[in-house]
């Protein structure tokens, strides 16, 4: 393997950091979940079956533009094709995280999208968080299902599996995943209490307009 550039070394360190952050925040448990980031025409992705505590920069797997790995590299995450196809099709984002966070997974197991009961669902770039149709984990079919469902959004649920979130950076993708989990928990709780009031299409359109003018402007 050729020595990593400074940029690549930073991204490798970022991947390890984000996996530990997912574990520390409770979004992920054990060796499940994975993350990837664009590197040139290829990507870097977390290794298969390694818990974040034991993950280091060297264990991160580089996947070349033709989808190959270097001889001697670790096996990439079993979901590498899902990450790969998203990064290939979505030039507007550079990072992907996937996890089995509890409330997102509960809704995914019921195959229920997160409806817009709270305005922060808009962080995912859509008025609701849809559910990608079920496919067995680690297959090209799952990759196709997720790519088809997520569309131009930054997140979707995966039936009977978990959630996936995209971002400009790994930290951005993490923040989206964290918000998806929060929205899933809020929706779950509101549904248990009764019939939540779902925001209308025009109310959501107002929210998206308002967000255009939100935050620091310099």
The catalytic residues are 79
SS3 labels along the chain:
CCCCCHHHHHHHHHHHHHHHHHHHHCCCCCCCCEEEEEECCEEEECECCCCHHHCCHHHCEEECCCCCECCCCCCECCCHHHHHHHHHHCCCCCEEEEECCHHHHHHHHCCCCECCCCHHHHHHCCCCECEECCCCCCCHHHHHHHHHHHCCCCEEEECCCEEEEEECCHHHHHHHHHHHHHHHHHHHHHHHHCCCCCCCHHHHHHHHHHHCCCCCCC
Using an 8 Å Cβ cutoff, are 82 and 17 in contact?
Answer: no
Query: In 3D, which of 199, 103, 191, 85 has the Cα closest to residue 140?
Result: 85
């Amino acid at each position: 393997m050729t020595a990593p550039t400074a940029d690549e070394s930073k991204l490798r360190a970022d991947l390890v950091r984000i996996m530990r952050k997912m574990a520390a925040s409770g979004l992920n448990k054990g060796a499940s979940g994975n993350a990837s980031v664009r590197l040139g025409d290829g990507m870097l992705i977390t290794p298969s079956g390694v818990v974040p505590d034991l993950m280091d920069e060297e264990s991160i797997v580089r996947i070349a533009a033709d989808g190959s790995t270097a001889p001697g590299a670790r096996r990439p995450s079993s979901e590498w094709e899902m990450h790969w196809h998203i990064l290939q099709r979505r030039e507007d984002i550079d990072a992907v995280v996937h996890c089995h966070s509890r409330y997102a997974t509960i809704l995914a197991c019921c195959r229920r999208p997160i409806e817009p009961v709270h305005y922060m669902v808009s962080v995912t770039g859509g008025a609701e968080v849809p559910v990608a149709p079920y496919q067995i984990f680690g297959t090209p079919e799952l990759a196709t299902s997720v790519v088809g469902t997520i569309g131009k959004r930054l997140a979707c649920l995966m039936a009977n599996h978990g959630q996936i979130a995209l971002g400009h950076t790994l930290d951005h993708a993490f923040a989206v995943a964290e918000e998806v989990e929060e929205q899933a928990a809020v929706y779950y709780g509101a549904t248990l209490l009764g019939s939540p009031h779902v925001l209308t299409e025009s109310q959501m359109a107002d929210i998206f307009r308002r967000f255009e003018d939100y935050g620091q402007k310099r």
